[in-house]
């Protein structure tokens, strides 16, 4: 699945319908996650099979559409454990970001 191309052509009004959030919120979430991922990658390690965009879409799909991890794993050709890890990373990263904003 090439979500980058699909998102580039997505009309702004479709974000709420497909993901449950508006485009500005989606873009802000993606920017937070990309920044956190770059910071994490400074320490090294192997590249993940799922992109940051994929992980965000997976998490939103999991909560918005009530899709199972097994079903999402099939779509992305990864084990459901990778889906679980992706959802947890996205959640924790966004929560930490929100906590930092509230401290400021």
CA-based nearest residue to 19, from 83, 63, 72, 84: 63
- pLDDT tens digit at each of 104 positions of the chain: 688 999 999 999 999 999 999 999 999 999 999 999 999 888 787 778 899 999 999 999 999 998 999 999 999 999 999 999 999 999 999 999 988 877 76
SS3 30: helix
| Total residue count of the chain as it appears in this document | 104
Residue 12 CB partners (closer than 8 Å, separation 6+): 22, 23
- The structural domains of the chain, ordered by start, are 12-103 (1.10.472)
Residue with tokens 């794993």: 73
- DSSP category for residue 22: -
């Amino acid at each position: 699945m090439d979500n980058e191309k699909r998102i580039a052509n997505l009309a702004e009004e479709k974000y709420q319908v497909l993901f449950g959030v508006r485009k500005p919120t989606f873009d802000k979430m993606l920017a937070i996650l990309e920044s956190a991922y770059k910071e994490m990658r400074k320490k090294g390690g192997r590249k993940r099979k799922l992109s940051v965009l994929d992980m965000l879409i997976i998490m939103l799909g999991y909560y918005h559409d009530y899709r199972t991890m097994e079903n999402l794993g099939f779509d992305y050709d990864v084990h459901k454990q990778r889906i679980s890890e992706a959802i947890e990373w996205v959640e924790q990263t966004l929560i930490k970001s929100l906590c930092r904003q509230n401290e400021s």
